[in-house]
Amino acid sequence: MTYREAIRAGLREALRSDPRVFLMGEDVGRYGGAYACSRGLLEEFGPERVRDTPLSESTFVGAGIGAALGGMRPIVEVMTVNFSLLALDQVVNNAATLRHMSGGQFSIPLAVRMATGGGRQLAAQHSHSLEGWYAHIPGIKVLTPATVADAKGMLLAALQDPDPVFIFEHAMLYPMEGELDEDAGAADISQARVRRQGNDVTLITFGGSLPKTLEAAEQLASLEIEAEVVDARVLRPLDISTFLTSVAKTHRVVIVDEAWRTGSFAAEISAQIMEQGFDHLDAPVARICAAEVPMPYAKHLEEAALPQVGIIVKTVQGL
């Protein structure tokens, strides 16, 4: 089963099991979703529960918040993180604040999904990795499924959560094949997960960079460096303890994050590891991030701009 199919299975399960759940977003219905995640759902659940919206990100995200306030369990698909900038006011100023500024009177059980990331030569306006921005906002939760199991499990978990949850699906992962237990339910969304054991160095990553990092770890293994690969999974609230446990063992850390380096979420992870694991560190925590450039279209330039297996291997070797 692919990552895309896992999302579709999650959507279907959610729509089947809870009448309060509905899906809305641009082209989720007749088109089947820009990334085909919702193909077939309109036919199964009808246009009331699988709703195509006009191009108006701010309003349909806001409407998702309102519908959640009104007793529904909306799943809002913002086609990509790039367009979510248009809805950021609703996220920061309403989704994240309404509970607090009403003194706890309201919960907003809203799940928002969006594709993120670069790698498909879509250039400067269509290649952002802004999940780190979202992770800055108290009041929401931020998930970055990097496996087929998490693609479904995190969606179901988001729907069980009483608060707004933002799910970032890396666009390069949709065709990825992986295992999925037929009746796997909601995933745990409180913890990071060690995806590969190792004693020599800790590689921390999330989302679209996980496959690259695992591949780098394989290459490192052939160089007799055993890397432990930790998938952060949940950027807010961040599970720092899993990182620290690994660092206490390996004493070296490299963080891989597809966002621009300056102000990346990798910086946050780096800072926290220093703050809490300073004495375990034998070397400064290293970051591998995107080059600080609006994403160029040309293939070789985009490849050079993004974290790649080679640079991960080289960075670890140079620690």
Partner 1 sequence: MSSRSLDLQGVSTTFTLTGEFEMQNIDINTIAQSDLQAVKQNHALTLLHEMLRIRRFEEKAAELYSLGMIRGFLHLYIGEEAVAVGAMQAFGQQDRIVATYREHGHALARGVPIRSLMAEMYGKANGCSRGRGGSMHLFDAGRRFYGGYAIVGGGLPIAVGLALADKLQSRPYVTACFFGDGAVAEGEFHESLNLAALWKLPVLFLCENNLYAMGTALARHQSQTDIAMKAQGYGFQGEAVDGMDVLAVEKATRRVADWVRQGKGPYLLEFRTYRFRAHSMYDPELYRTKEEVERWKERCPIATFQTWLRQQQLLADTTLAQIEAAVDHEIEDAIVFAEAGPSEPVEDLLRDVYTQEG
Tell me how many residues contact partner 1 (CB under 8 A).
Answer: 73
**Residue 280 CA to chain centroid, in angstroms?**
28
Site string for a copy of itself, 133-152 (x = CB under 8 A): x-xxxxx-------------
Phi and psi torsions of 14, nearest 5°? -65, -45
Nearer to partner 1, 179 or 297 (CB): 297
- Of the candidate spans 19-27, 32-40, 61-69, 83-91, the one that interacts with a copy of itself by CB under 8 A turns out to be 83-91
Residue 293 found at the interface with a copy of itself (CB under 8 A): yes
Nearer to partner 1, 1 or 291 (CB): 291
Residue 194 found at the interface with ligand TPP (CB under 6 A): no
What letter would DSSP give residue 282? S
**CA 114, 119, 124: angle at the middle one, nearest 5?**
80
Nearer to partner 1, 140 or 203 (CB): 140
Residue 199 found at the interface with partner 1 (CB under 8 A): no
Residue 65 touches which member of ligand TPP, partner 1, a copy of itself, none, C-beta under 5-8 Å by kind: partner 1
Site string for partner 1, 47-76 (x = CB under 8 A): -x--xxxxxx-xxxxxxxxxxxxxxx-x--
CA distances from 266 to 57, 192, 260 (A): 28, 15, 10
**CA 198, 154, 116: angle at the middle one, nearest 5?**
85
Site string for a copy of itself, 93-132 (x = CB under 8 A): x--xx--xx---------------------xxx--x---x
Tell which residue, 118, 120, 38, has the closest CA to residue 75.
Answer: 38
**How far apart are the C-alpha atoms of 228 and 217, rounded to whole Å?**
8
CA distances from 279 to 212, 252, 273 (A): 29, 11, 10
Nearer to partner 1, 46 or 284 (CB): 46
Query: Which residues belong to the active site?
Result: 57, 126
